[in-house]
Amino acid sequence: MRNLFRSLSANCRGAFQGETHWDCEGGLRARELSARSWWFIRTRWIAAGLSAVGSLWAILPSWRQGSALVIDFRYFLAVSILLTVSNLIYTRVARRISPDPVRQAGVCRVLKFQVLTDFAILSVLTYGLGGIETPIMILFLPHIILATLFFSRLHSFLMTWVGILFAALPMILEYTGVVPTLSIFLDIHKETRVSSDPVITTGFVLGITGAFLICWYLVSEITSSLRLRERELEDAYARLKLLDTEKSQVTLRATHELKAPFAAIKSYVFTLRDGYCGDLPEQALKVVERIGDRCDLLTAKVSDIIHLSNLRTEQPEKVRMQETDLARIVAGEVDEARLLGKSRGLTVHYRPGEGLCSVLGSTEDLGTMVGNLLRNAVNYSRDGGEVEVGLLCREGRIALRIEDHGIGIPEEHLPRIFDEHFRSTNAIRHNPNSSGMGLALVREIVRLHEGDIRVSSRLGAGTEVTVTLSCASQQLPKGDDHGEDSHY
């Protein structure tokens, strides 16, 4: 009890001194609050149904024969009606409150009114079932636990006292004679043995007060510890994101500084190759050409690193999107892939989707995404092989599927294929000149377009990549989706 009062006094001091709490107004995220509010509403529909069943059961005369219980069905019926009416109101209010931080206080108020309404309804049910004669009062405890999870420690403490008041109210009103004493047992004279005895009434009130406060204290201690750990993890995550941003900025500056020297080296290589400094021996000319090829490879890698760094600093809500015909982009990149694979006898089959295949996106980034995937499919196919490309537009979703029958990817390497610079050993043997940045770029572009990418592969049998995006007509403004599963 000493720890209990210490905890209470600490919370009160923090509240009056302006201490920030992990309460409903600032601790829980808006979407999490909205989800809990809807879960609470669904649970109360179940309770309303059970109360209706209880009223029907109490009406039936068959159970009365040989029973020593007398239960008035009207209390069950009243509870069912109250739950139904209040839940209809809360459902309408919850639908009008969007789960964004601006409306977070509104969600909190809805949750508080739901808990208070349930306390009042449980008080009616407790009185109708004889008060201390039945264990129905236990149902107050889950609401106290929920209040502790929803609100700050101080707010949940106050809600606990409200619960104590409603739980003890039937017994107090019976003892003071405000309401008639109600008993569900025929052979026990509750009025003379219980309700008229001040010791029993006082002991009952003190008992539920102690039990409810102990329950609040234990749950609040656990939730406070968990919220503290969560805050520490969020702070650590924020620091890691800051470090990652700083690392990306350093990389971006370094790669920008490398472009000029590579361009100068390449110009000197062209000068030597084209004979402006005199004729070169054949062996020296081959070395110069290899230097030029390496400069081209490194320049492309630097450009990819810069592009990837730029993509990683972008957020989906800040990217300027426009309605883009994905089928037209894919058709253009397929033509490029056919030219790339023509010398090796590769065939690229393209099946465009039926109907409109428009998405909200960046034409340049989507072209980069499709081009990188097609070049991978061509580069890692065997000579004379086939690459299949298809678009499927259905139910507001567009799925781009690219399948090759090439060297495939080892199963143990699949989780790492989207890491920059990573390349499997068989990929290095087959195509040693790749930068290893293509799939990392693809993943960031898919993220910015809030899509989904899946890769399946078998070593020696080929690889299939599927990118799923939302149609332009189906994409909602930011903040309007409620967390439904968006996978195709």
Taking 60 as the threshold, does the pLDDT of residue 248 lie above it? yes
User: What would you measure as the largest C-alpha separation in the chain, in angstroms?
Assistant: 122
pLDDT at residue 477, as a whole number = 43
Residue 488 — pLDDT band, cuts 50, 70, 90?
very low
Q: Is the pLDDT of residue 238 over 60?
A: yes
Query: Strand 322-325 to strand 358-361: parallel, antiparallel, or no bridges (unpaired)?
Result: antiparallel
**Band of residue 53 on the pLDDT scale cut at 50, 70, 90:** confident
Confidence of residue 1 (pLDDT cuts 50, 70, 90): very low
CA distance linking residue 199 with residue 389, whole number of Å: 83
Residue 12: which H helix or E strand, with range?
helix 2-16
Question: What span, in angstroms and rounded, lies between the C-alpha atoms of 470 and 478?
Answer: 13
d(CA 475, CA 318): 15
Residues constituting the chain? 488
In a domain, 64, yes or no: yes
C-alpha atoms less than 13 angstroms from C-alpha of 192 in its C-beta half-sphere? 3
What is the enclosing helix (H) or strand (E) of 175?
A: helix 153-176
Q: Are residues 247 and 390 in the same domain?
A: no
Do 18 and 117 belong to one domain?
A: yes
Please state the pTM of the whole predicted model.
0.48
Q: Closest Cα to residue 376, out of 439, 440, 429?
A: 439
Q: Which of 269, 297, 312 is the last residue of a domain?
A: 312
What is the residue-averaged pLDDT of the chain? 78
Q: Is 329 exposed, middle or buried (0-12, 13-18, 19+ CB in 10 A)?
A: buried
- Residue 386 is given by DSSP the state E
Which residues, in sequence order, are bridge partners of residue 468? Answer: 399, 452
Contact indicator for 48, 40 with CB cutoff of 8 Å: no
Given this model, what pLDDT does residue 287 score? 85
Locus of tokens 């572009």: 445
| Partners of 347 in the β-ladder | 386
Is the sign of the CA dihedral 239, 241, 243, 246 positive or negative?
negative
18, 139: one domain: yes
Highest mean pLDDT among 111-125, 303-317, 346-360, 419-433: 111-125
Residue-by-residue DSSP string for 411-472: GGGGGGTTSTT---HHHHHH-TT--S-HHHHHHHHHHHTT-EEEEEEETTTEEEEEEEEE-T
Residues 327 and 393 placed together within one structural domain of the fold: yes
What are the helix (H) ranges across 17-72? 30-59
Q: Are residues 342 and 283 in the same domain?
A: no
Question: Does 90 fall in a domain?
Answer: yes
Output the CA angle 409-435-450, nearest 5 degrees: 70
Instruction: Give the structural domain span for 175.
Output: 2-196
Q: What is the pLDDT of residues 324-373, one digit of tens each?
A: 888 899 999 999 999 988 888 999 999 887 766 788 888 888 988 999 89
Q: Do 391 and 455 belong to one domain? A: yes
455: phi then psi, degrees, rounded to nearest 5: -130, 130
Distance, CA of 193 to CA of 254 (rounded, Å) = 87
Residues 271 and 162 occupy one common structural domain: no
Confidence of residue 484 (pLDDT cuts 50, 70, 90): very low
Q: Are residues 170 and 188 in the same domain?
A: yes
Q: Where are the alpha helices (DSSP H) in 313-362?
A: 326-342
**How many CB atoms sit inside 10 A of residue 328's CB?**
14
What residues contact residue 155 under an 8 Å CB cut-off, 6+ apart?
A: 21, 23, 24, 147
> pLDDT-based confidence at 100, cuts 50/70/90?
low
Domain boundary among the residues 312, 330, 350 is at 312
Give domain status of residue 216, yes or no: no
- Indicate whether 105 and 181 sit together in one domain: yes
What's the average model confidence in pLDDT over 472-479?
52
For residue 59, is pLDDT > 70? yes
Same domain, 102 and 157: yes
Looking at residue 266, its pLDDT comes to: 77
Residue 27 and residue 136 in one domain: yes
Does 369 reside within a domain?
yes
Please give the tally of structural domains in the chain: 3
Q: Is the residue at 70 inside a domain?
A: yes
Domain boundary among 283, 312, 341: 312
Handedness of CA 473, 474, 479, 480 (dihedral sign): positive
Dist CA 298 CA 379 (whole Å)? 18
pLDDT over threshold 70, residue 267: yes
Spell 290-322 as b/e; 16+ CB within 10 A means b.
ebbeebeebbebbebbbbbbebbeeeeeeeebe
Answer yes or no: do 133 and 20 share one domain.
yes
Q: What is the pLDDT of residue 38?
A: 78
Q: What is the CATH number of the domain that holds 339?
A: 3.30.565.10
**Do 141 and 212 touch, CB atoms closer than 8 A?**
yes
Higher pLDDT, 5 or 330: 330
Q: Write the pLDDT tens digit of every residue in 179-221.
A: 887 777 765 566 666 666 777 778 888 888 998 999 899 988 8
Q: Give the helix/strand (H/E) hosting 90.
A: helix 73-96
Mean pLDDT, rounded, for 66-90: 79
Tell me the CA end-to-end span of the chain in Å, nearest whole number: 55
Torsion region of 451: left, alpha or beta (phi above 0 gives left; psi -120 to 50 gives alpha): beta
Contact call for residues 76 and 54 (beta carbons, < 8 A)? yes
Collapsing DSSP to helix, strand or coil, 125 comes out as helix
482 located within any domain: no
| In a domain? residue 202 | no
Taking 70 as the threshold, does the pLDDT of residue 10 lie above it? no
Cβ count near 345 (within 10 Å): 10
What is d(CA 24, CA 351) in angstroms, rounded to the nearest whole number? 52
Q: Is residue 260 part of a domain?
A: yes
d(CA 84, CA 78): 10
